[in-house]
Chains A and B, each alone.
Chain A
Amino acid sequence: GENVEQHPSTLSVQEGDSAVIKCTYSDSASNYFPWYKQELGKGPQLIIDIRSNVGEKKDQRIAVTLNKTAKHFSLHITETQPEDSAVYFCAASSNTGTASKLTFGTGTRLQVTL
């Protein structure tokens, strides 16, 4: 089955700096890669996603890049703000058969300091 690895596990940046989180996946059939943000006591919230026919996607301060050859994808947050502090999860989905289940990474705790 799919295996997703995520690094780093913790990341501390100063407000205004950029943050980068990287993930690798094992199943070459995976074709959908979402990123979720989880705040304390809440469920994961989708912040951006990318599909395998696209190499890069941007939404304001957030961007995701995908390298299918190397089987890795990254989340980039620019001009970080204190409200960006949360745990971020990458995930991958291969959508084989009738299931569309996500395999998640182990998360990155991002702390944005003033």
Chain B
Amino acid sequence: DTGVSQDPRHKITKRGQNVTFRCDPISEHNRLYWYRQTLGQGPEFLTYFQNEAQLEKSRLLSDRFSAERPKGSFSTLEIQRTEQGDSAMYLCASSVGTGPSGANVLTFGAGSRLTVL
């Protein structure tokens, strides 16, 4: 297992275009998270899946953002009608969770850097 994989690593797009990022978690991990990281800041939570169910979304996740994890394996994060403020690193992480409580150790991918011109 090579860890959490994210694709593409870099994406440059023009304002108003749609972009999609893919995340492949560690195979035995049932929990998957998306975070956003802007320059000079720590990662900020966006959303979280347990298997295929999206259980929590941050207020940062506007209506232009949608995330899916259709078969409980890989996940996609789509941003519609991109804005310059969407420029950031989008990080995916995965973990093993066996119940509603209990801290999970998150393993992060290398991220997908988005630049909106």
Interface size on B, residues (CB 8 A): 29
Residues of A11-65 at the interface with B, using a CB-CB cut-off of 8 Å, are: 31-32, 34, 36, 41-46, 49, 51
Q: Are B110 and A42 in contact (CB under 8 A)?
A: yes
B12 to chain A, nearest CB (A): 16
| B107: nearest chain-A partner, CB-CB | A46
- A positions within 8 Å CB-CB of B: 4, 6, 31-32, 34, 36, 41-46, 49, 51, 89, 91, 93, 95-107
- B positions within 8 Å CB-CB of A: 4, 31, 33, 40-45, 48, 50, 55-56, 91, 93, 95, 97, 100-111
A-B contact pairs, 6 of them (CB 8 A): A43-B108, A93-B103, A95-B102, A96-B101, A100-B103, A101-B48
